Amino acid sequence: MKHSPLWTALCASAAMGLALGPVMAQEAGETDGILVQPGETESGTAAESEAPGAGLTASPTEDDTAGDETDEDEPAAEASSEAAEEDAATGAESGDEALAEEETDEAAPAATLDVAPAEAPDDAAETEEDAGEDEAQSAQSFRDQPQEQREVGTDWPFWGGDTNAQRYSPLNQITRENVGELERAFVFNSGDLPEGTADGKYSPETTPLKVGDDLLICGAMNELISIKADTGEENWRYDPGVPNEAIPYGATCRGVSLWTNPAAAEGDTCATRVIEATLDAKLIAVDVETGMPCEGFGENGTVDLWQDIGERVPGWYAVTAPPAIVRGVIVTGAQVKDGQAEEAPSGVIRGFDAETGELAWAWDLGAEEQNRNGPPEGEVYTRGTPNMWTTATADEELGLVYLPMGNSSVDYYGSNRSEAEEEYSTSLVALDATTGEVAWSFQTVYNDVWDYDLGSQVTLVDFPQDGGTVPAVILPSKQGDIYILDRETGESLFDVEEITGLPKGDIEPDYISDVQPSSTYHTLRHDDLTARDMWGFSPIDQLWCRIQFHRANYDGFYTPPSADRHFIQFPGYNGGSDWGSVAVDPERGVIIANYNNIPNHNRLIPREEAEERNLRPIYEQDEEGGSGAEGAGDPQIGAPYGIDVNAGWRSPLTQMPCTKPPYGGIRAIDLETGETLWDEPIGTARRNGPWGIPSFLPLKIGTPNNGGSVVTESGLIFIGAATDNLFRAIDIETGETLWQDVLPAGGQANPITYEVDGRQYVMIMAGGHHFMETGVSDAFIAYALPE
Amino acid sequence: MTHSIYNEGTHFEERRHTHWAAVFIGVLCVLLGIVLFAGGVWLAMLGGSWYYALAGIGLLLTGWFLARGLMSGVYVYLVTWVGTLIWAYWEVGTDWWAQVPRVVAPTVILILVLLLIPVLRHRRR
């Protein structure tokens, strides 16, 4: 149920003696390359918003306003349904070429981009009719068989790179030899920056898609934008008008998905569509060429995901991950804000017809059969069930979708959970994407009371075994265990070891499991903590942490929650592996995993004390509420305890973690054997230090990190993720950092690589992250070798 | 360093001519020593390491001697510091990041204490 936070923390207490070491930092060279002037874009778009095509290209400010108003009055409607836009959209779709062209031109004066309906809009009507006839048939057919998928290389067509989510690119123009010459090719500023109450809640985490000549991106508040992949010039934008109050824990849009309708003729409006799910829980489909909402999808291109969820409480139910699309079915879960109440929005997973937006099926683990086609009139999907906030992986071939499930809504107390919740919480569940039925599931924690949600997207591989290969799935977890499962059966290809004799604690000894699984293939987890691992900046704060260590409940891995004293949870809820997921080099047979190595210092808060502290659930708060760190005082209404989480166990004396570094690492693992090839700390101490003072130390201390990597055929790993705000290229053979650049804010986003006209680009969004304390920015930065 | 001594006036030189720097460092060591000792005793009572309580005593003695202008302060601190190094190595070996809180601050204090040697010598003359 959560998505992971983290902060900066740490560091170089060496800073004490030394004023500062040699600073590496080449300061962010914003003058490098082509900088898309925000001013230019804005003036351009401002003009457009007067034009009929407004909805597509209005300036961020104007659209926000429009969006807010609309949403306040009428939450279900959005900016796109305003009359003018509707007209525009209809005009275009009805095949009036002249009108469409005119609008397009007007709509994009500055953005230049010829969004043009290159192919025959005048055939559109006809084609649509044809499509209409075939509809029933085609809808059937593309669900029964695999649809052809785009390949990674020149393009980056999926959030995870290719259909297998390997984050691997066959591109090799940028090599270990020339990577040192890498420079900024352009910077695109999306204009999506926090305004008003969104301040301090931004964590965009955005990864673009690249298809054809364009990049498709979303702003943190879900504005959809298409830009030229080689210059950053804007083609179009579409603002769904998400209001600030919809921000759950952070304003995040990890990415979007694409679907091409096999039944549509090339050039048809929405033949290829961008699918996005938003913070205010809408599923949106727009045309990839023009950004026009897809008329035939839901209502004016929008499906309301609040449908059948229950009372609409903005921010409680939000989508931050790109949906998976399997055989024409869009599959999505949602983030349900953690720790509020047992009576929370359902964790239901739903499939929607990618063409029409109609509900194809629902998987409600609390009422699988009854709610398969939606709950009966007047009822809602089962409340408080485990949800999926992260990204699913589509298996077009087997027609399955792999869902990394989180925990129930109340994370740290389990006695009230149903059997079905216990069966599926913190499990990888494979659903038949055409029917929504469970094919198999694999659980990584029994009776999870640690918020060990599965955060990583799983990666598909042909796993080398016995001289052949087995279609397998790589499942990384927050505990650090990496499992290799047979894709068809869910059986682990390696022994799953059971850790036995675990403590059951005093709170709910009948619920806590004294047995837990662990992987014999590989774990990223470090050894259990000891008093010697306590850290600090001097013996005095170290002493303070040692005292806390001895005062807390800690019996190692899976220490159960306690209320009389704090309990130490290690690894903490940031992982291990989190949403950044792992990358796989299938040629070299190497898994690249970055991970966190930090504990949380937690305590259950008895209900009475929670009342005294006035811990309120989200449905009783005004808009200002709930901007704190996840779990730092959550009410868990319905359970006898609230929860207080000190994520990263930071000392109140110095704001540094109580444990020693490294707080984060990156590891290369042999795919076939699971053996570690190398393991290096990731992140330097330059931005971190006691009391948040940057130490400027270029020392590789290993910082908390969020966001994954990209691996290229030429043997390079590109990754930001760490709290030092550096973007770096690492040699896959040695783990050595070969190149780095200072970002304007944290690179807590998965990077991509692609090619335009024979030139390879690497791009990362440097959006920063509120909880990682890495600033805020709207910059998408593209790097390339000098021409 | 020596100017200030004369500025203080000769009246006091017989009785309390401890240099202000020695007093300052001495008081600092006493304060740090109190914190380390008190926290260290608490930690030891919780079943943790005795090092902090012992190091606290070392600092208290160091501070006491330094504030009185006695060279013994330097010797006591040297013993404390060497003891700290041995303990730190025993606890975490060559894990340099883990050495940082154990060794850096005590070494900074060592440097300050060593810088007092000329001042302490002067007093003896």
Which ipTM was obtained for this model? 0.89
Q: How distant is the Cα of B79 from the closest Cα of chain A, in angstroms? A: 17
pLDDT confidence of A101, banded at 50, 70, 90? very low
Closest CA to A517 of A568, A447, A571: A447
Q: Are A20 and A50 members of one domain? A: no
Locate A171 and state its tokens: 């591109």
Q: Are A17 and A82 members of one domain? A: no
Determine which helix (DSSP H) or strand (DSSP E) holds A69, and give its type and residue range. Answer: helix A60-73
pLDDT at B34: 98
Q: Which residue of B has its CA nearest to A548?
A: B43
Q: Which residue of B has its CA nearest to A700?
A: B97
Q: Are A11 and A85 members of one domain? A: no
Q: Taking residues A325-334, what's their average pLDDT?
A: 97
Q: Are A23 and A165 members of one domain? A: no
Tell me which chain B residues have a C-beta less than 8 angstroms from the C-beta of A544. 39
pLDDT at A690: 86
Identity of residue A139:
A
pLDDT at A575: 85
**Rounded-to-integer distance, Cα B34 and Cα B43, Å:** 14
Q: Taking residues A757-774, what's their average pLDDT?
A: 97
Between B35, B97, B108, which is nearest A17 by CB? B108
pLDDT at B30: 98
Partnered with residue A411 across adjacent β-strands are: none
Residue pair A782/A185 in contact by the 8 Å Cβ criterion: yes
DSSP letter for each residue of A360-379: EEEE-TTSTTTTTT---TT-
pLDDT at A141: 57
Q: Are A274 and A159 members of one domain? A: yes
Tell me which chain A residues have a C-beta less than 8 angstroms from the C-beta of B91. 532
Cβ <8 Å between B47 and A550 = yes
CATH of the domain at A757: 2.40.128.630
Locate A629 and state its tokens: 């760190």
Identity of residue B15:
R
A591 occurs within a structural domain: yes
Q: In chain B, which among 38-97 make CB contacts under 8 A with chain A? A: 39-40, 42-43, 46-49, 52, 55, 91-92, 95, 97
Q: In chain B, which among 1-30 make CB contacts under 8 A with chain A? A: none
How many A/B residue pairs have CB atoms within 8 Å? 71
pLDDT at B17: 72
Cβ <8 Å between B36 and A16 = no
Cβ <8 Å between A540 and B108 = no
Closest CA to A717 of A597, A585, A616, A610: A585
Which among A239, A432, A451, A778 is annotated as catalytic?
A451
pLDDT at A140: 53
pLDDT at A681: 98
Please write down the HEC assignment for all residues of A669-732.
EECCCCCEEEEEECCECCCCCHHHCCCCCCCECCCCECCCEEEECCCEEEECCECCCEEEEEEC
Q: How distant is the Cα of A651 from the closest Cα of chain B, in angstroms? A: 14
In whole angstroms, how large is the CA radius of gyration of chain A?
25
Cβ <8 Å between A701 and B97 = yes
Between A536, A547, A701, which is nearest B101 by CB? A536
pLDDT at residue A250 greater than cutoff 50: yes
Cβ <8 Å between A535 and B101 = yes
Locate A665 and state its tokens: 């690492």
**Rounded-to-integer distance, Cα A396 and Cα A163, Å:** 8
pLDDT tens track for A578-607:
999 999 999 999 999 999 999 999 999 999
Q: Is the peptide bond prior to B56 cis by the omega test (within 30 degrees of 0)?
A: no
Task: Specify whether the backbone of A184 is left (phi greater than 0), alpha (psi in -120 to 50) or beta.
Answer: beta
A377 occurs within a structural domain: no
Tell me which chain B residues have a C-beta less than 8 angstroms from the C-beta of A536. 101
Indicate the pairing of strand A664-670 with strand A590-596.
antiparallel
A639 occurs within a structural domain: no
Q: Are A11 and A94 members of one domain? A: no
pLDDT at residue A192 greater than cutoff 70: yes
Q: Of A289, A321, A353, at which residue does a domain stop?
A: A321
Q: Are A254 and A297 members of one domain? A: yes
**Torsion angle (degrees, nearest 10) of CA B70, B73, B79, B83:** 170
Tell me which chain B residues have a C-beta less than 8 angstroms from the C-beta of A551. 46
Please tell me chain A's helix, strand, coil percentages from 3-state DSSP, rounded to the nearest 5.
15, 30, 55
Q: In chain A, which among 686-725 make CB contacts under 8 A with chain B? A: 701
Q: Are A16 and A69 members of one domain? A: no
pLDDT tens track for A49-61:
333 333 333 333 3
Closest CA to A759 of A213, A157, A159: A213
Identity of residue A323:
P
Q: Taking residues A719-729, what's their average pLDDT?
A: 98
Cβ <8 Å between B48 and A531 = yes
Q: Taking residues A644-658, what's their average pLDDT?
A: 94
Locate A253 and state its tokens: 């849009």
pLDDT at residue A21 greater than cutoff 50: no
pLDDT over 70, % of chain B = 85
Please write down the HEC assignment for all residues of A197-219.
HHCCCECCCCCCEEECCEEEEEC
Cβ <8 Å between B46 and A12 = no
Between B48, B97, B101, which is nearest A539 by CB? B101
Residue pair A765/A759 in contact by the 8 Å Cβ criterion: no
Between A546, A547, A661, which is nearest B97 by CB? A661
pLDDT confidence of A174, banded at 50, 70, 90? very high
Cβ <8 Å between A532 and B92 = yes
Domain count, chain A: 2
User: For residue A127, what are the contacts with CB-CB under 8 A and spacing of at least 6?
Assistant: A264, A265, A268
pLDDT tens track for A698-709:
899 999 999 999
Cβ <8 Å between B39 and A540 = yes
**Rounded-to-integer distance, Cα A662 and Cα A603, Å:** 25
Tell me which chain B residues have a C-beta less than 8 angstroms from the C-beta of A701. 97
Q: Of A321, A349, A372, at which residue does a domain stop?
A: A321
Interface test with B, best of A11, A16, A538, A663 (most B CBs within 10 A): A538
A539 occurs within a structural domain: no
The per-residue pLDDT of chain A, averaged, comes to: 85
pLDDT at A142: 62
CB of B31 within 8 Å of a chain A CB? The answer is no
A8 occurs within a structural domain: yes
Q: Which domain holds residue A3?
A: 1-31+579-597+661-787
Q: Are A86 and A232 members of one domain? A: yes
Q: Which residue of A has its CA nearest to B87?
A: A532
pLDDT at A56: 37
Q: Higher model confidence: residue A376 or residue A12?
A: A376
Residue A87 annotated among the catalytic residues of the structure: no
DSSP letter for each residue of A618-657: GGGS-TT---S-TTEEE--BTSSEEEEEEET-B-TTTSSB
Q: Which of A519-528, B8-17, B25-34 has the lowest mean pLDDT?
A: B8-17
Between A14, A16, A547, which is nearest B43 by CB? A547
pLDDT at A622: 62
Dihedral sign, Cα of residue A248, residue A249, residue A255, residue A259: negative
Cβ <8 Å between B107 and A537 = no
pLDDT confidence of A697, banded at 50, 70, 90? confident
Give whole-number Cα distances, B68 to A597, A715, A752, B11, B62, in Å: 47, 65, 66, 17, 10
Q: Which residue of B has its CA nearest to A10?
A: B97
Q: Taking residues A426-452, what's their average pLDDT?
A: 97
**Rounded-to-integer distance, Cα A238 and Cα A221, Å:** 11
Tell me which chain B residues have a C-beta less than 8 angstroms from the C-beta of A542. 101-102
Tell me which chain B residues have a C-beta less than 8 angstroms from the C-beta of A538. 101, 104-105
**Rounded-to-integer distance, Cα B118 and Cα A234, Å:** 70
Q: Taking residues A129-145, what's their average pLDDT?
A: 52
A740 occurs within a structural domain: yes
**Rounded-to-integer distance, Cα B104 and Cα A14, Å:** 7
pLDDT at A145: 86
Q: Taking residues A79-102, what's their average pLDDT?
A: 38
Q: Are A262 and A307 members of one domain? A: yes
Cβ <8 Å between B98 and A532 = yes
Please tell me chain B's helix, strand, coil percentages from 3-state DSSP, rounded to the nearest 5.
85, 0, 15
Q: Are A27 and A47 members of one domain? A: no
A44 burial class (0-12, 13-18, 19+ CB within 10 angstroms)? middle
Strand positions, DSSP E, A2-55:
34-35
pLDDT at A691: 87
pLDDT confidence of A436, banded at 50, 70, 90? very high
Q: Which residue of B has its CA nearest to A685?
A: B97
A674 occurs within a structural domain: yes
Cβ <8 Å between B101 and A14 = no
Tell me which chain B residues have a C-beta less than 8 angstroms from the C-beta of A13. 100-101, 104
Cβ <8 Å between A543 and B98 = no
pLDDT at residue A560 greater than cutoff 90: yes
pLDDT at residue A759 greater than cutoff 50: yes
pLDDT tens track for A260-296:
999 999 889 999 999 999 999 999 999 999 999 999 9
Q: Of A283, A298, A321, at which residue does a domain stop?
A: A321
pLDDT tens track for A447-502:
999 999 999 999 999 999 999 999 999 999 999 999 999 999 999 999 999 999 99
Q: Taking residues A162-171, what's their average pLDDT?
A: 98
Cβ <8 Å between B102 and A539 = yes
Residue pair A390/A579 in contact by the 8 Å Cβ criterion: yes
A567 occurs within a structural domain: no
Q: Taking residues A550-566, what's their average pLDDT?
A: 98
Cβ <8 Å between A532 and B40 = no
Q: Taking residues A125-154, what's their average pLDDT?
A: 64
Q: How distant is the Cα of B47 from the closest Cα of chain A, in angstroms? A: 7
pLDDT tens track for A211-236:
999 999 999 999 999 999 999 999 99
Q: Are A71 and A1 members of one domain? A: no
